[in-house]
Structure 1
Amino acid sequence: MRPTWASYGSFYDWILLPAFEALSKRGDADIAERYREASAAFIGQRDHGDQVAWQAAMDALQALQIEGKFNSRLDEPVVAITSPRGISAQTNEALTAALDALHPWRKGPFSLFDVFIDTEWRSDWKWQRLEPWLDPLKGRAVLDVGCGSGYHCWRARGAGASLVVGVDPSIKFLYQFAALKHFMRDEPVFYLPMRSEDLPTTSGSRSRLFDTVLSMGVLYHRKEPLNHILELKSALRPGGQLVLETLVIDGDAQTVLMPEDRYAQMRNVWFIPSPEMLMRWLRRCGLKDVKLCDVSVTTVEEQRATPWMRFQSLTDFLSPDDSTLTIEGYPAPKRAIITATAV
């Protein structure tokens, strides 16, 4: 039997339904309904064998008795939830077990009542590179496409965004997001389980709901990268800011790498352009004010295995003889941040 919203316990009531209501207020009921339909259709296609275990972990987390008012810190490198009264050793142990059952944790870091989740990626480093180039987020509606477990969603809220919606086609990430959202239900930060391909597309400016759209680490997974750029553009109001972060390769405006098979052991990498080619793609898709903001080599300090991500990581995907190359012989990962303005 295919899953439905009922498969997700109370998630619909405190993550999904409020997101659709917020989108309806932001634009119109029709576009909000299209987001609801897209996410419902997506979960109807997914039947993950580990979901029973993930739901058990979530049930255990929700059953914890933690007294006092929760405080959140969303404007610091570690997204944190605290309680003035602290928690007991027994509660700490139970919380740690519930969070560990959602392993692996890829994007972060997070801290829940002094349980520190040292994620595979130091996503705070990416945010630090990105933040100087963001249009001020105060009062803005932000869409984070490919949001993972939601680290950058929380940071956008910490920077003043009035509404943040993350979309990602991973049910595991939905549960990880819910682990934090459970303690921050009043925050206008939401997660919709859906693919970027299924974002509602429209030419009407009233239905272009977001002031800022983030796409970080998605473009190279798409067989048709220009379509992804057009999807992002369609979600942006005129004058809104697109922030695109992706793998790039050295070269001129004619350079694009298409791996023969895997790239850094990833199967689903299709096109890695030079920064100049990437900016051309954005301009051809009708965006303006295209700006190259940062180019950084990904280091084994930024992406690595930890107790919260116990599988192989970047060091295992680089050539043992030359760390400037992947294990397949391609140039090692390098990432660019580019901003542009919708018209």
Structure 2
Amino acid sequence: MDLSHFQPFLARLAATPLAPWRDALADASLARLGAGAHGDLARWESALAALPSLPEGEIRLNAACVGLQAITPLDSATAAILRQTLMRLHPWRKGPFCLHGLHLDTEWRSDWKWDRLADAISPLDGRLVLDVGCGNGYHGWRMLGAGARLVLGIDPTLLFVLQFLAINRYLARDELAVLPLGIEDLPDTVTGFDTVFSMGVLYHRRSPMDHLAELRRLLRPGGELVLETLVLEGDGTQALVPPGRYASMRNVWFIPSVAALSVWLRRCGFEAVRVVDVSRTSREEQRSTDWMHFQSLPDHLDPADPNQTVEGLPAPVRAILIARK
């Protein structure tokens, strides 16, 4: 896989204040796609190449189900090929997406998360946005729909990058890209984003304070951080450190209370810290579907007490905090 899929986005990037880091981002992406790339990459690329052409439609970025609304009905043969080909990129975690009547009912109802934050963040009109750990880019399209000038999504999981390319085959938006990068792959000097999103990432970091400091560095002065993460219920400044797995996940390191997380943000130099939402994750928001056959949240909760995980720890509660550099 080469960088040809990303060149239109990189060309747009070159016309923004982020231009000095264009080549470094391209080089880092190429390195990720080179030696040591995922063994299934060729199979996923084959699926991408096999996607059928679709008739013109209305691009929908402001709808819960991002995608392409058909002007005329899709014939049954093409609809079947579209479904079969996209299913070759299983599992689909973030969404939903709709393409000419085909509904990709993903594991997460990511639109619910967007609804919780959309009215609380600063308007995205004309902004340069970074989405860290963006998955297949669902929220990036919502950001474009909200008026963002350019959205850079980064996620090291190559399957998610291919899923983004599959959807963007039909939406054809050059102002958004999902590059195969982790935050540690970004150049140490890169900065200047107007808004940085980090959603569902902090609890996977061994050093959450370092992650918050990295996010701050990436922002321009006065820029806004939108942080979404697992939190521990309670009024104190505690943090849960799972002794082993959490909801069957191996890589959950710290789950702070909202009060502790607010302190962390201020200690890292953020200002105007505010909490805009605290919600328990429901079985309806994260679950197995036809597009994600594996186990999901309901399988990792105590069947006798849904307020606990199978390990006997507090069940997932997620908060959204907004802060300014």
Pairwise same-fold verdict (TM > 0.5): yes
Q: State the number of aligned residues.
A: 325
CA distance in 1, matches of 2:33, 2:81: 29
- Answer yes or no: is 1:172 the counterpart of 2:155: no
* Contiguous gaps of at least 5 residues in structure 2: none
By how many angstroms is 1:184 displaced? 2.2
Quick check: 21-30 or 221-230, which moved more? 21-30
In structure 2, distance between residues paired with 1:326 and 1:287 = 32
1:132 aligned partner, one-letter code: D
Q: Which of 53, 58, 78 does residue 48 from structure 2 map onto? A: 58
Q: Deviations over 1:81-123 (max 9, x none)?
A: 1342332111101000011111110010001111100000000
Matched, 1:307 2:293: no
Greater mean alpha carbon deviation, residues 138-147 or residues 36-45: 36-45
Using a 3 Å threshold, how does the CA distance of structure 1 residues 251 and 96 change in structure 2: closer, same or farther? same
Letter in 2 for 1:167: I
Which of 291, 297, 317 pairs up with 2:300?
317
Aligned to 1:271: 254
For 2:39 and 2:59, how far apart are their aligned partners in 1? 33
In structure 2, give the amino acid aligned to 1:194: L
| Displacement of 1:235 | 1.5
Residues 201/323 of structure 1: CA separation in 2 closer, same or farther (3 Å cut): same
Pairing 1:200-239 to 2, within 5 Å after superposition: 200-202=187-189, 208-239=191-222
What residue is the counterpart of 2:17 in the other structure? 27
Question: RMSD value over aligned CA atoms?
Answer: 1.5
C-alpha change, 1:28 and 1:73, in structure 2 (3 Å) is closer
Pair 1:111-2:98 in alignment: yes
Give, in angstroms, the shift of residue 137 of structure 1. Answer: 0.8
Check whether the contact 1:138–1:160 (CA below 8 A) recurs between aligned residues: yes
Distance apart, 1:187 and its partner CA: 4.1
SS at match of 2:278: strand
Secondary structure class of the residue paired with 2:15: helix
**What pairs up with 1:245-260 in 2 under 5 angstroms?**
245-260=228-243
| Structure 2 counterpart SS, 1:324 | strand
Offset of residue 27 of structure 1 = 2.0
Q: Which of structure 1's runs of 4+ aligned residues deviate more than 6 A? A: none
Deviations 1:154-197 (A, max 9, x none): 00001111111110011000110001111122441111110112
Of the structure 1 ranges 123-132 and 27-36, higher mean CA displacement relative to structure 2 is found in 27-36
Any conservation in 1 of the 2:68–2:98 contact (CA below 8 Å)? Answer: yes
Q: 1:233-256, CA deviations, whole angstroms, 9 ceiling, x for partnerless residues?
A: 122111111000000002345301
Task: Give, in whole Å, the separation in 1 of the partners of 2:92 and 2:67.
Answer: 15
Cα deviation, residue 129, structure 1: 0.5
Q: CA deviation at 1:29?
A: 4.0
What displacement does 1:261 show? 1.0
Residues 6-54 of structure 1: per-residue CA shift (max 9 Å, x gap) = x25xxx223x223333333212543222222222233335322222221
Residues 166 and 264 (structure 1), Cα distance of their counterparts in 2 relative to 1, 3 Å cut: same
**Is this contact kept in 1: 2:18–2:192, CA < 8 A?**
no
Q: What corresponds to 1:84 in structure 2?
A: 71
For the residues of structure 1 that align with 2:217 and 2:90, how far apart are their CA atoms?
A: 34
> Are the structure 2 counterparts of residues 235 and 320 from structure 1 closer, same or farther at C-alpha, using a change threshold of 3 Å?
same
Paired with 2:236 and 2:183, the residues of 1 have a C-alpha distance of: 26
* Cα 1:52/1:288, change in 2 over 3 Å: same
Distance 2:236 2:126 in 1: 37
* Equivalent residue number for residue 242 of structure 1: 225
Task: Report deviation, 1:134.
Answer: 1.0
Unaligned runs of 5+ in 1: 1-6
Q: Work out whether residues 121 and 303 of structure 1, in 8 Å CA contact, stay in contact via their aligned partners in 2.
A: yes
Q: Secondary structure at the match of 2:305?
A: coil
* 2:143 pairs with one of 132, 150, 156: 156
Q: Is the 1:70–1:183 Cα contact (8 Å) retained in structure 2? A: no
Calculate percent identity across the aligned residue pairs. Answer: 49
Asked if the contact 2:199/2:227 (under 8 Å) is kept, the reply is yes
Which one is further off, 308-317 or 251-260? 251-260
- Separation in 2 of the partners of 1:280 and 1:41? 37
Shift of 1:297: 0.3
Q: Is the 8 A contact 1:168 1:192 kept in 2?
A: yes
* Contact 1:290–1:341 (Cα < 8 Å) also in 2: yes
**CA distance in 1 between partners of 2:139 and 2:324 (Å):** 20
Alpha-carbon shift at residue 71 of structure 1 (Å)? 2.2
